[in-house]
A and B are shown apart, each in its own frame.
Chain A
Amino acid sequence: MRILVGVKRVIDYAVKIRIRPDGKGVVTDGVKHSMNPFDEIAVEEAVRLKEKKIAKEIIVMTCGPTQSQDTLRTALAMGADRGIHVEVPPSEAETILPIQISKMFSEVAKKEEVDLVILGKQAIDDDCNQTAQMTASILDWPQGVYASKLEVKDKKLEVIREIDGGLETILLDLPAVVSADLRLNEPRYATLPNIMKAKKKKIAKMKPSDLGVDSAPRIEVIKVEDPPVREPGIIVEDVDTLITKLKDKGL
């Protein structure tokens, strides 16, 4: 089996973001970036399938500015075999949407003849939660989104999904697209020897147009602003005061 994994370079999840002075985006310069947490889980799952001898090759792909290569290297150090970097200038990377990214993934999935695409369930910057579904749709492949467990059974893929109110089990024909939820696995840390080895692994570079994708913006950002700030509250001294205060509010 060949697996294609998607990764995205995003502002680190622990960073408190700031709105840019022009009010059209958030400050990214000089801010710590790392691999989208859901994508780490996707890479880990692919590597585990390789360790179980189910997968032969793992191709990891990203679309973004030059620095996105660091994210690819991290995935390679975790155990992916080779990388594909679809480079876009930082200005374009800001407005590129899942619809364009999914066209790129589906194109590569066909070209590389992969049997499984694993993506994260959502990127923690745009919070879209769309790329896996769109990729599956373009390819007319089945999808197992929000996966918390994967198992290959008789050339089919059994996926346990996290849904509102509980869990769901589905069975997918391969090839298929899966998106990883937080509880799919615990991603490994890349060791120093593996980081060194990853430097020798190949990364192919291309542009969106090489994959026939138009990266022109489909939305116009009117403004990006801070959410409304809550008024500071008070510290109450004991449970009785808390109950009284809530009663005053009619609760």
Chain B
Amino acid sequence: MFSISKSLTSSAKLRAIPSLLNRFQSTLVIAEHDGKNVKAETLSALTAAKQIGGDISILVAGDQCVDVAKTLSTYSGINKILLAQHADFKGFLPERLAPLILKTQKEFNYTHIIAGSSSFSKSVLPRVAVQLDVSKLSDVIDIKDADTFVRTIYAGNAVMTLKAKDPIKIMTVRPTSFAADESSGGSAPEEVMEAAEFTKNSEFISQELKKSDRPELGGAKIVISGGRGMKSGDNFEMLYKLADKMGGAVGASRAAVDAGMVSNDLQVGQTGKIVAPELYVAVGISGAIQHLAGMKDSKLIVSINKDPEAPIFQVSDFGLVADLFKAVPEWEQKI
């Protein structure tokens, strides 16, 4: 009834047979942070790096990142933390960070460069890869060996296993396919990196991040998403109430975002966030291919829709054919 995603089972298998992979690798993990906290994507990338085996270094760059480097050094199995703190790195502009990563690579000759998939890593790593004349792999969901990887194509409707022929493997890994590293007790030494020269042709102006007490969409154990059927942004209040009671995050389909009901950073799907929570609740979402791409690896899927023919029911473990405006408040009242 509820199938554990394939990638989870295979990564468990990999942990069981570490000798499967070449031990003479060296991996650079690109850390992502907000100046204080390490992002969950980075801990997924660390898990992926450990699967490849060999030495692991983590590059921590930013205008403020000393504390982040300290936090990361306590994880086990890391050989070195490379710290690059510089005022120029404010806003993490890719035009400035790509030369730093490139310089780090030229100095230490890693076989692999890994980051968790995110808007940051996807912005910067292709810039690095092309300078090294190597291809980049996006959204890797499984590592078979040091040069064989699995990734999805066509909005998750096909799974490709490929062998990368380039000498250096540069990739972003899908955080929902690699559990965050939870190790402790490490004491990796720190090494200070000087900033590399860059062309000053871009300037960071500002960021407008949504502040919320709810768990972050990508890492939430429960996600409740609304679609076109929600009819208006105000009606999302119902989903927030239910999410708060269950300790979950709120997401949305593209239709809801395009209709202006909620902001784009809530979008779940091929071009939005990819989530794989314990429980995904789709409310008023028909289940277009592009939406399924972002949530079909969830452990348990529940959908509420008044149209019994909605494609979402084909991937749902439990479906409720009902008017969401009655069913959602009732659910919220009864738990």
Contact = CB atoms under 8 A, between A and B. Distances in A.
Whether chain B is bound by chain A comes out as: yes
Interface of A: 11, 13-14, 16-17, 19, 26, 38, 97-99, 102-103, 121-122, 124-131, 133-134, 136-138, 140-143, 145-146, 148, 158, 161-173, 176, 181-183, 217-228, 230-236, 238-240, 242-243, 245-246, 249, 251
A103 B134 CA distance: 12
A244 to B, nearest CB: 10
Contacts, number: 251
A223 B161 contact: yes
A170 B202 contact: yes
B274 to A, nearest CB: 10
Given A170-B91, A171-B203, A251 B165 contact: no
Nearest to A247: B335
A127 B152 contact: yes
Contacts of A136: 95, 127
A164 B119 contact: yes
A130 B170 CA distance: 12
A182 B271 contact: yes
Nearest to A146: B119
Contacts of B148: 222
B138 A169 contact: no
B270 A124 contact: yes
A220 B165 contact: yes
B171 to A, nearest CB: 11
A125 to B, nearest CB: 6
Given A127-B155, A242-B320, A98 B126 contact: yes
A143 B123 contact: yes
A133 B202 contact: no
Contacts of B5: 228
A222 B162 contact: yes
B265 A99 contact: no
A239 B325 CA distance: 12
Contact of A236 (B3, B95, B290, B320): B320
Interface stretch (B22-30, B184-192, B294-302): B294-302
A98 B135 contact: yes
B305 to A, nearest CB: 11
Contacts of B3: 228, 230-231
B318 A228 contact: no
Nearest to A100: B135
Nearest to B205: A169
A4 B127 CA distance: 19
B147 to A, nearest CB: 10
A164 B120 contact: yes
21 contacts: A13-B289, A99-B130, A124-B154, A127-B154, A128-B138, A138-B130, A140-B199, A163-B120, A166-B265, A167-B208, A169-B205, A170-B91, A172-B201, A181-B271, A224-B158, A224-B160, A226-B158, A227-B158, A233-B316, A236-B320, A242-B320
B163 interface: yes
B119 to A, nearest CB: 4
A170 B204 contact: yes
Given A17-B154, A125-B154, A131-B126, 17 more contacts: A11-B154, A17-B157, A121-B271, A124-B154, A127-B153, A167-B208, A169-B207, A182-B258, A218-B135, A222-B148, A225-B158, A230-B3, A233-B315, A235-B313, A235-B318, A236-B320, A239-B330
Given A125-B154, A166-B209, A166-B265, A236 B318 contact: yes
B201 A218 contact: no
A227 B156 contact: yes
B254 A182 contact: yes
A251 B208 contact: no
Given A98-B126, A133-B94, A233-B1, A164 B118 contact: yes
A245 B318 contact: yes
Contact of B93 (A14, A170, A222): A170
B129 A246 contact: no
B165 to A, nearest CB: 5
Interface in B22-49: none
A136 B317 CA distance: 45
A99 B136 contact: yes
A32 to B, nearest CB: 14
Nearest to A240: B334
A134 B334 contact: no
B216 to A, nearest CB: 8
A165 B265 contact: yes
Given A19-B158, A127-B139, A230 B296 contact: yes
Nearest to B1: A231
Nearest to A161: B119
Contacts of A231: 1-3
Contacts of A218: 134-135, 164-166
A171 B205 contact: yes
